Amino acid sequence: MKEIFILVTGMTIIFFLLAGYAYPPTDNDRTKNNVYPFDNDGSYDRGKFSQYLISIVFTTGVMYLGFYINTTFVKYGIKNWGMFASGIFLMYLYGLGKIGELMYNHELFDVFKDLILPVALILITIGAYNISKDITGGED
């Protein structure tokens, strides 16, 4: 299972990189804000750069959390963890969407990010309930 998680994670990173180059920002996207991480004068924008670094740290942390969940739940034989792991993976995609939004300045990543977050949180909540029910022996 670890190999599948690593393979899917790598393919997702490659997909987001290619999507940023395949769908260049429109004129409307360019006029909404400055090009990351510099504005039109070429001066450094500290706020956007901080958002970018925090997004990288968040995405890396979620990736490690997903790796830990996959290995731990499989090792201890916990059932019903697939939905929880799927929610964690969607949170990882959310982090990649934020990085893509900051790097490529494109509305596509912003819309993707806004759609994926509620679904990820719902899957994590339902998955956590199923796991706790499995651990406690099916009692509510």
Q: What is the pLDDT of residues 59-88, one digit of tens each?
A: 888 888 888 887 888 788 888 788 888 898
Q: How confident is the model at residue 45 (pLDDT cuts 50, 70, 90)?
A: low
Instruction: Decide if pLDDT at 50 tops 80.
Output: no
**C-alpha–C-alpha distance, residues 99 and 11, integer Å:** 16
- pLDDT of the residue at 34: 47
Domain count, the chain: 1
Q: Does residue 37 have a cis peptide bond before it, meaning omega lies within 30 degrees of 0? A: yes
Q: What is the pTM of this model?
A: 0.66
Residue 16 in any domain: the answer is no
Rg (Cα) of the chain, in Å, rounded? 18
Q: Is residue 76 part of a domain?
A: yes
Give the model's pLDDT for residue 122.
94
| Domain, as residue range, for 65 | 2-6+35-135
Residue 120 has pLDDT above 50, yes or no: yes
